[in-house]
């Protein structure tokens, strides 16, 4: 069954979209989705995404329609105002994590508008209570800040050092934070 026909089926039966924890074996499909979604930046490496998954497997999720992976979210406990470097092959969770950093959300273009993105974000935000965190942060790329505003994220004014760090994420990027 193609993703387009799955999306059509989803329109009729929304219960077929489900969220589950990400596994290392999902990485080839995650990388394929990433390749299709990111046009303003070079997609991250397998090593970078795998490092984040291994560092915090309880905060990384997969969205499936029927048996097909159609999206993912990678997040890690982190320090507010200091996002991890893009495409780093290592991920060491800071000892004094005070937020959940939503590093990467992508939905296959053929499966968009089916609610998978919202369900992934909701799964991730549910982790705040589990981790005893009150805040989340992210870098909205490819002019996606309006999407994140729907979930309560707000743009934050940045200093020169942070603006320089964000330059590696391409144009039209916004650092955003959420407070529970």
* Residues 98-150: tens digit of each pLDDT: 999 999 999 999 998 889 999 999 999 999 999 999 999 999 998 899 999 99
Q: pLDDT at residue 9 above 50?
A: no
For residue 100, report the phi and psi dihedrals to the nearest 5 degrees: -105, 120
Burial group, residue 12, by CB count within 10 angstroms (0-12, 13-18, 19+): exposed
Please report which confidence band the pLDDT of residue 13 belongs to, taking 50, 70 and 90 as the band edges. Answer: very low
For residue 17, report the phi and psi dihedrals to the nearest 5 degrees: -85, 120
How far apart, in whole angstroms, are the C-alpha atoms of residue 4 and residue 10? 10
Residue 1, pLDDT score:
45
- pTM recorded for the entire structure: 0.89
State pLDDT tens for residues 58-81.
999 999 998 899 999 999 999 999
Please report which confidence band the pLDDT of residue 8 belongs to, taking 50, 70 and 90 as the band edges. Answer: low
CATH class entry, domain 3-179: alpha beta
Q: pLDDT at residue 155 above 60?
A: yes
* Mean residue pLDDT across the chain: 89
């Amino acid at each position: 069954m193609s993703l387009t026909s799955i999306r059509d089926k989803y329109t009729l039966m929304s219960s077929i979209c489900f969220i589950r924890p990400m596994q290392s074996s999902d990485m080839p499909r995650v990388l394929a989705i990433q390749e299709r979604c990111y046009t303003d930046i070079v997609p991250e490496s397998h090593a970078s995404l795998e490092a984040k998954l291994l560092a915090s497997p309880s905060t990384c999720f997969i969205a499936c329609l029927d048996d097909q992976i159609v999206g993912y979210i990678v997040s890690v406990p982190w320090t507010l105002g200091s996002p991890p470097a893009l495409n780093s092959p290592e991920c060491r969770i800071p000892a004094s994590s005070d937020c959940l950093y939503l590093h990467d959300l992508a939905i296959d273009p053929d499966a968009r508008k089916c609610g998978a993105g919202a369900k992934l974000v909701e799964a991730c935000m549910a982790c705040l209570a589990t981790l005893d965190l009150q805040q989340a942060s992210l870098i909205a790329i490819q002019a996606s800040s309006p999407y994140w505003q729907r979930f309560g994220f707000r743009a934050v004014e940045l200093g020169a050092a942070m603006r320089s760090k964000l330059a590696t994420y391409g144009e039209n990027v916004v650092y955003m934070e959420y407070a529970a």
